[in-house]
Structure formats: structure tokens, C-alpha cells
Homo-oligomer: A and B are copies of this chain.
Amino acid sequence: MNFSFEVLKTDATGARLGRLRTPRGEIKTPVFMPVGTQATVKSLRNEALEELGAQIILGNTYHLYLRPGHELIGKLGGLHKFMSWERAILTDSGGYQVFSLSELRKITDEGVRFRSHLDGAEHLLTPEKAAEIQLALGSDIAMVLDECIATPAPREIAEAALKRTTAWAKRARAFFLQCASRNGDLRQWQFGIVQGATFPDLRRESAQQLVEIDFPGYAVGGLAVGEPHGVTCEMTAEAARLLPEGKPRYLMGVGRPEQIADYVARGIDMMDCVLPTRAARHACIYTSEGKVLIKNARYAQDQRPLDPACSCSVCARYTRAYLRHLFAAGELTAAILATHHNIHFYLDLLRQIREAIEFGNLAKFSSEVQARYAAGPA
């Protein structure tokens, strides 16, 4: 296994500076993973992601399983080769998308039966199947199947989901290790996922049970799905404090720029979110001064870059007036340029956060970002 994780420094807040080594390169943590749902980060060529310095991206198992299919991708040499991306890829388990996108879900202890949102065909996703799909995709990091529930949830629902999540995690781990012993070096790490909704004791219980199973890394799932930010932070902290110091921690599906440092301060090393890419396609630009809604008439003659403090290739060349025009005219180029900038913003934010940890001033940095985002752009 060419994988390793090392915590290089922990600051007073609990934030960690780390190094995640994968067979496809080294990743500085805390890291933000751009979302490449269908084997592409929407509206970016891989060349752009490389220019932006993305070291790892996320792929969605649910989407790739349904189209073009993990068997086809496996046959063509795996996801990296299929999409021509040589750096690291993390795939989720497909669970969250089954719960949020598909129809007629039926959950049993066996797994989750659902109908495809594409053609209505019926499928069964089990812990073993989710692992099998991700092995075929050949991602560097795979996630176990967990049961995702709507929150706020009654305690008994949360307890049942936790129990099932642990049981599924055990099965997923056993299946994965069996494949590994059969096939030798799998070049893949499998992470467990802590559930427990918004109940601190359930979060702790889930974390403990997963640690007992023994994964090389752990995610915290089922958060940032509508609950207050303070609750997200509290639940993250409850889980993180029981997770092994020396293993990476991944908070799934977060977050807003002004929230990222809060999660890092709870000991989170990895994050992913559709926000920078989705917001970009809706003309919402993240800048060092807050959000710029670029379709606003106030930018019609604005010859400044999207973010005057930004060093990305879009800000070096194009104006707000031009971007506003491209969005108003419905041009694809608008999404290309805005996505490029927003991904740069997120990756740069994480660079600044790593630097702040290094120099011991993450709390100050975080409150500055929050103040700028509260005030909005000039």
C-alpha cells in the first residue's frame, strides 16, 4: 500500500496540518476536493484543474454506476484512465445520492432498493455492491455505504440508522478485505462514515463502533443538510474527538467559504462540496470580499476582475462587465470562467488555512473571512 497519512502539526484550536500520501500523489491537508460527479468537474477541462492545483477530486458512485456503468469504466481501465485524470480520486458510496435523487427507495438490512432517476430501472445497492463498484472504478479512496436520513430526525430513527450504518460498515470492510486478500495490493483506501444525526451521544457511539472496525480513515456524514452551523460544528467535534489522531477525517459535503475554517478547527482534514461549481453556474462568484452576484446591473460597466485580490487566470484577463454579459447572454463560456475562478477561490482558501495553521493564527484568519462575508462586496 502506497498510502499514508501524517499529522505534521496541530494548533491550539485542534486544526491539523497534514500530509496524505496516495499512489497518485501527495495531498496537503486540510484539503478541499472539487466535485466531479459524472467523471468531470462540471465545465472544467482536466487541464484547468491541473492549472488550479487540484490534487484530489471526488467522483459520485451513484451517477457513474448508472451511467456509463462501473463495469464499462472498469473494462476501460478504471476511472482515472477513463477520464484521463492522473491525480487522486475519492468516490462516495452512492448512498447519499440514492437517498436524495432516486425514486421508490426501500431500505432493508440487506441494502437499499431504488429506481434510477434516469430510466426508472430498479437497482439494489448493498454494502458489498458499493464496495465492488468502487473497486471497479479504481478510486484511490472509497467510502462505505451508510444510511442517510432526513434531519431533524426522531431519536429512534437516528438510532436505527446508526445501527444499520455500523452493520453495513462491518460488511463493507469484510468484503473489501476479502477482495484485498484475493487480489493483493488494491491501491485503494476504504473509509468508514460516522452517522448519528444531531445527537451528540449517537455521534460518539457511531464513531466508537467504526473505530473498532478499523478503517484507515473516517468520514463524518449526514451533516450540513439543513441544521444550524453551530450544530454541524458540535456534531463534527463530538465525532472527531473519538477518531484516531493519526488517521484522516473527512467531513462530507461542506461547505460555505466562511464555514470551512470552523470545520478545520474541529480537526477535519478533508472536505468536498458542489457549492463552488454549482454557484458558479448560477452566476454567484466567491471573492475575498464576499459573494458577487455577477448578473447584477451594478457590474455592467465594472472593469475590475471578479476579485481584484485573486491571482487566477480568469481574474488576470477578464472583467466583471464581460462576465456579466456572458451570463446575461446565456453563454457556456460564463460557466467555464466562473467555475474556474470559484474553484481557485476554494483551493486558495484552503492554502491560506494551511498557512494560518502553520503560523498559529487560524482563529484570526477565520474571523476575518467571516467578517468579509457578512459585510459583502464593496
Q: Which residues of A contact B (CB under 8 A)?
A: 38-47, 63, 67-68, 72, 75-76, 82-84, 300-301, 303, 313, 317-319, 321-322, 324-326, 328-329, 331-333, 335-337
Contact = CB atoms under 8 A, between A and B. Distances in A.
Given A67-B328, A76-B321, A322-B82, A333 B45 contact: yes
Given A317-B46, A317-B84, A336-B332, A322 B39 contact: yes
7 contacts: A38-B331, A39-B326, A43-B333, A44-B333, A45-B336, A68-B328, A76-B319
B333 A335 contact: no
Copies of the protein in its oligomer: 2
A14 to B, nearest CB: 38
Q: Identify the 5 closest CB pairs spanning chains A and B, nearest first.
A: A43-B332, A40-B333, A38-B329, A68-B325, A84-B317
Given A39-B325, A325-B39, A318 B68 contact: no
Contacts of A68: 300, 321, 324-325, 328-329
Nearest to A39: B325
Given A68-B328, A329-B67, A45 B337 contact: yes
A266 B42 CA distance: 44
Given A67-B328, A72-B300, A303-B76, A43 B84 contact: no
